[in-house]
Structure 1
Amino acid sequence: MLRNLFCSLLLIPVLAFGQIKGERPMIGISCGQTNGTAKLKLEYSDAVIKAGGTPVLIPVTTDSLALRAILRNLDGVILSGGEDVDPARYGETPHPKLGQVNSVRDTCDFLLAHMAHHMNIPMLGICRGEQLINVAFGGSLYQDIPTQCPQWKLSHRARSKGDEARHMVNFAPDSQLAAIFGITELQTNSYHHQAVKEPAKGFRVVAWASDGTPEAIESIHDYPIWGVQFHPEKMVRQGDKVALRLFNFFVRKADTFRRAKAIHRNMLSIDSHTDAPGAFKKNYNIANRTKRQVNIPKMEEGMLDGQYLACWVRQRASNEAGVKQATERANLLISRTLKQIEMNSDRLELARTPADLARIKAAGKKAIFLAIENAYGVGSSLADFERVHRAGVTYVTLCHSSNNDYCDSSSDTIKRWNGLSPLGREAVREMNRLGIMIDVSHASDDTFWQVLKYSTKPIIASHSSARAIFDHDRNLTDDQLRALAEKGGVAQACIVDIFITPQKAGTAPGRGNATLSHFMKHLLHMIKVAGVDHVGIGSDFDGGGGVYGCRGDNDLINITVRLLEEGFSETDIAKIWGGNFLRVMTEVQCR
């Protein structure tokens, strides 16, 4: 009865989803600038309209606040052609054959490229736009092909006014652009004298003219960014149906992003696990956009409503001194987290219940939930659970990577309790009584099964993925996923690189070769096994989490895009992004 009631409440905001299907995606196109006049050739906007999009012209400005406001209303960005990019941007002095540059436009377009990337807005660069994307993300250019690359014999610029240079472009068969165009060879126009030299990190050249000149780049890290050196918009104007495929694809991609944003506006989303409090030291402010994965600007960019900040405590000696040190550490992290909320009370609030999350979102703020990762940090007495509950803690992870006084860990090779200890069984009963969710991520298999047996309330795995996809002790087996679901619980798929794919040789721990696509295999498998009502997302950001394509809070919307592309309904996406977890929270907190 309670579960059905909660699901009905969850679906109230979803009623607005029917309004998002008939709209056309808004495609921003960067303008050029001449003598104080913004300019853009009509071929760009015409191609967008022909593909089903609505073009929006982006003026040349260096006002970052204005550009950010414009981008918030866009679903795709096209960086258009024009002047050469200033070589100072990639650390070179001007070549004698360098063409006209426009420093104001460079600044504008660099801001656009970086801001659009932060927001994960699909981005297409054309001619100068392709070159600018490459430079903006750390690559370089040949400033003049004829003098710097005499081995490339093709003419890439028209020899006379009104003429058009043309040549064949060959796409890498395994590239996204080859799939988009549906062919690996395309006769194109050519209007450039510069080309990509060193591809930016995270990009690769995927097309070449017959003489070897680079003609296109794309992201290799699952970000929606493409660039072509030729002018497909002119080809569309000339009736080229193959060139139109690029705009058709881009507008569809933008439309999916538009739908993803609409879903996030109308649902309650929550990331069930991060380790952000470890960074909350003197002078730190979560309101600043930094390289850390969790902060307010990134939550806003990724349209995330609620974030769990877990107070992680390292396992040390289980004696009186060790427990005292652990509880002091947990208390300090809780205090520092509450201080961050207090410092940013106009943008953050502490949440304890699903109703809090809904209220905080309605107020235009972000919700912060508290957890303790490792019950060692709670203390050694059952009374300590009531103390942390009063402080705002709504779930406790029973252990971390070593056994403790409560249970055995999945990462410890020596069994201490063969599952739960006597104190651990009492803690399960006490957390059930208090309405604290029990988290079995990091728990050994024996611990998992015993918690499931002894708990009278549904349990959670706040950040665990699928062992059937990658055999790692931190992941859940199919039997565990099914059993968790049968008891009404929820498994939150984890985005930690080394839990998703084997470690890549020569890389730092936790920084292998996993991408968003690898994570999606885990998420989709978990949904298939446990059911769409029993799976969610727990990133473990700022604690080892992050893969290419999903490196921080701002990238979480990419998961929504992927779910839409997989055919999931808006209602099911709302369940995955928070509904399932909040249902369990509701059931656990009803005493």
Structure 2
Amino acid sequence: MLKTTIRSSLLAVIGACATITVAAQDYEASEKARQLADKYLIVDTHIDVPYRIHNSWEDVTRATDQGDFDYPRAVAGGLNVPFMAIYIPAEYEQTGGSIELAHDLIDSMEALVGRAPEKFALAYSTKAAAQNKQNGLMSIAMGMENGTPMEGDLDNLRMFYERGVRYISFAHSQTNHISDSSYDIRKQWNGLSDFGFELVKACNEIGMMIDVSHISDEAFYDVIETTEAPVIASHSSLRQFTPGFERNMSDDMLKKLAENDGVVQINFGSSFVAQQANRYRDMMKNRIEAVYEQFGEESDEAKRRVEEIQASNPYPYATLDQVLDHIDYVNELIGVRHIGIGSDYDGVGDSLPVGLKDVSTYPNLVQGLLDRGYSENDIEMILGGNLMRVWKQVEELSQ
């Protein structure tokens, strides 16, 4: 009960701040930025629409009241290839049912295309993604977030590849039968399991991109030492700006990623981008918990003090400029060839940064890149060219 109450209090704080932050947004893309966003292929490798509409259905082929993605906003932002996350919660490793959930989520994306074939088309290859743009259609690509549906059987990898999944994140918030997780203090495998090593090789053979977001540092190095193909971090940012946050990538990992010719797709979520936001929930949890322990969580005094804590500690949203700092850092450390976009739209709640609140705001990112001196060629690479290069290399290796 205590954990539920604290979580509700934190969500209330973030929700209350969201309206204020959006109203205060002062980023405005120029006509040139909008033209570049429209001209070049924008590939975002992590958008959580499938699980969002699984929990609370909305027709995202039209404008929606909720969420970060719908077709009109995506068109306004210039988005061409959203990789929709086939997200499997970590508890399915124990409860079972992960394969069924994965099929349900894939079905929902096929249904999305079926409802609006004049707007969307499935993209199972780099060639299809490029052709869809030429035809004026938005590509629906898919990546599996959490490899639990493999269930220790490589035939399942082939099955989900045939269904259109084109990358797999080996784990999510807990260790599973494939890999240790960056969020899990239990390091059951000290990296990858024996099956995890087999899965790396099978992904290379079949043409499945390997996503190193969410796995532990040791598992990352195991993947890098085993794979013959470049890998992606589909929605990660940099540990340089969030010390101690293993979910983000360290400098050494970035250097290994560059040696592998892979790409880090920068996550927009405030807790991935800014140290203050990263530590906010733990800070608030500890302060609220102390109040409840002292006064009792149902007492009037506790309620009054929690309200004071909330009022005096608004959620510290990151900004577009801080997201750009991550891009600059990768560029300076390993080069522009290894940078992409993995926003985590519809996956990080109301914690998105000022200037990047939904899929209509990619031109703001382009404007920021222009302001920081990135060339048009650099911008093309960051928006989608680098990801398409890796995807193509993975395809070619499997042939």
State the partner residue of 2:234: 462
Cα 1:318/1:310, change in 2 over 3 Å: closer
The whole-number CA distance in structure 1 between the counterparts of 2:310 and 2:72 is: 29
Residue 567 of structure 1 corresponds to which residue in structure 2?
373
Q: How does 1:430-445 map to 2 (within 5 A)?
A: 430-445=202-217
Deviation per CA, 1:496-551, whole angstroms, max 9, x where unpaired? 1111122345679x953211122111121122212100110100010106211101
- Conservation of the 8 A alpha-carbon contact between 1:221 and 1:515: no
Contact 1:289 1:295 (C-alpha < 8 Å) held by counterparts: yes
SS of residue paired to 2:166: strand
- Equivalence for 1:348: 120
What is the aligned counterpart of 1:451 among 206, 210, 223?
A: 223
Residue 289, structure 1, aligned to residue 93, structure 2 = no
Displacement of 1:202: 4.0
1:223 aligns with: 27
One-letter identity of the residue aligned with 1:405: H
SS of 1:432's equivalent in the other structure is helix
- Please state how far the C-alpha of 1:327 moved relative to its aligned partner: 1.1
Matched with 1:201 is: 20
Match of 1:475 in 2: 248
The residue that corresponds to 2:273 in the other structure is 500
Partner residue, 1:231: none
The aligned residue for residue 409 of structure 1 is 181
Structure 1 residues 356-403: Cα deviation after superposition (integer angstroms, max 9, x where no partner):
111111111111101110000333211100000000000001110110
TM-score by length of 1: 0.56
- RMSD of aligned residue pairs (Cα, Å): 2.1
Report which stretch shifted further, 534-543 or 276-285.
Answer: 276-285
2:150 equivalent among 378, 399, 402: 378
- Distance of aligned partners of 1:542 and 1:202 in 2 relative to their CA distance in 1, 3 Å threshold: closer
What is the aligned partner in structure 2 of residue 489 from structure 1?
262
> Which amino acid in structure 2 is aligned with residue 259 of structure 1?
K
**Match of residue 105 from structure 1:** none
Amino acid across the alignment from 1:467 = R
Seen in structure 2, the aligned counterparts of structure 1 residues 516 and 222 have a Cα distance that, compared at 3 Å, is farther
Q: Given that residues 317 and 352 in structure 2 are in contact (C-alpha distance below 8 angstroms), is that contact kept between their aligned partners in structure 1? A: no
Percent of residue pairs bearing the same amino acid type? 32
* Correspondences of 1:228-247 after superposition (within 5 Å): none
**Selected match of 1:553 from 355, 359, 365:** 359
**1:308–1:371: 8 Å Cα contact kept in structure 2?**
yes
Distance (whole Å) between structure 1 residues aligned to residue 226 and residue 266 of structure 2:
24
5+ residue gaps, structure 1? 1-199, 204-218, 225-255
Unaligned runs of 5+ in 2: 1-18, 285-308
Structure (1 or 2) with the larger CA radius of gyration = 1
Q: What per-residue deviation string (whole Å, max 9, x for no partner) do you get for residues 437-470 of structure 1? A: 0000001000000000000110110000011122
Tell me, yes or no, if the aligned pair for 2:84 and 2:140 is still in contact at 8 Å.
Answer: yes
Q: Does the CA contact (< 8 Å) of 2:92 and 2:98 recur in 1?
A: no
Paired letter, 1:201 = I
The answer to whether the 8 A contact 1:341-1:348 is kept is yes
Q: Distance in 1 between matches of 2:57 and 2:119?
A: 18
Hey, what does 2:333 align to over in structure 1? 529
Q: TM-score, normalised by structure 2?
A: 0.82
Q: How far, CA to CA, are the matches of 1:333 and 1:202 in structure 2?
A: 32
Query: Closer, same or farther in 2 for the Cα pair 1:392/1:268, shift >3 Å?
Result: same
In structure 2, distance between residues paired with 1:274 and 1:451: 24
Q: CA deviation at 1:555?
A: 1.1
Q: Kindly tell me the number of residue pairs found equivalent between the two proteins.
A: 343
Distance 1:257 1:446 in 2: 43
Give, as a single letter, the amino acid of the residue that structure 1 aligns with 2:188: R
Where 2:381 maps in the other structure, the secondary structure is: helix
Q: Which structure dedicates a bigger proportion of its chain to helix?
A: 2
- Given that 1:490 and 1:581 are in contact with CA atoms closer than 8 Å, whether structure 2 keeps it comes out as yes
Letter in 2 for 1:293: D
Q: Which has the higher contact order (CA 8 A, sep 6+)?
A: 2
8 Å contact 1:498–1:512 — kept in the other structure?
no
- Work out whether residues 498 and 511 of structure 1, in 8 Å CA contact, stay in contact via their aligned partners in 2: no
In structure 1, C-alpha distance between the alignment counterparts of 2:50 and 2:238, rounded to whole Å = 27
SS at match of 2:242: coil
- Please tell me the residue identity of whatever aligns with 1:484: L
Secondary structure, counterpart of 1:201 in structure 2: helix
Give the Cα separation in 2 of the matches to 1:507 and 1:465. Answer: 28
State the match for 2:342 in structure 1.
538
Aligned counterparts of 2:310 and 2:192: Cα–Cα separation in 1: 36
Alpha carbons of structure 1 residues 283 and 547: separation in structure 2 relative to 1, 3 Å: closer
Q: Distance in 2 between matches of 1:556 and 1:445?
A: 30
Residues 469 and 521, structure 1, Cα contact 8 Å, conserved in 2:
no
- Which residues of 2 match residues 118-129 of structure 1 at below 5 A? none
Change (3 A) 1:511 1:305: farther
Residue 338 of structure 1: how far off its partner (Å)? 1.0
Q: Distance in 1 between matches of 2:69 and 2:102?
A: 19
Whether 1:358 and 2:130 are equivalent positions in the alignment is yes
- Counterpart-to-counterpart distance in 2, 1:346 and 1:317: 36
Higher strand content, 1 or 2: 1
Q: Show the counterpart of 1:335.
A: 107
Superposition deviation, residue 556 in structure 1: 1.7
CA deviation digits over 1:475-512, x for unaligned, max 9? 1011111110111111111011111122345679x953
Which amino acid in 1 is paired with 2:218?
Answer: D
Taking the aligned partners of 1:336 and 1:345, their CA distance within structure 2 comes to 14
Residue type of the alignment partner of 2:182: S
Tell me which moved more, 289-298 or 453-462: 289-298
> SS of 2:265's equivalent?
strand
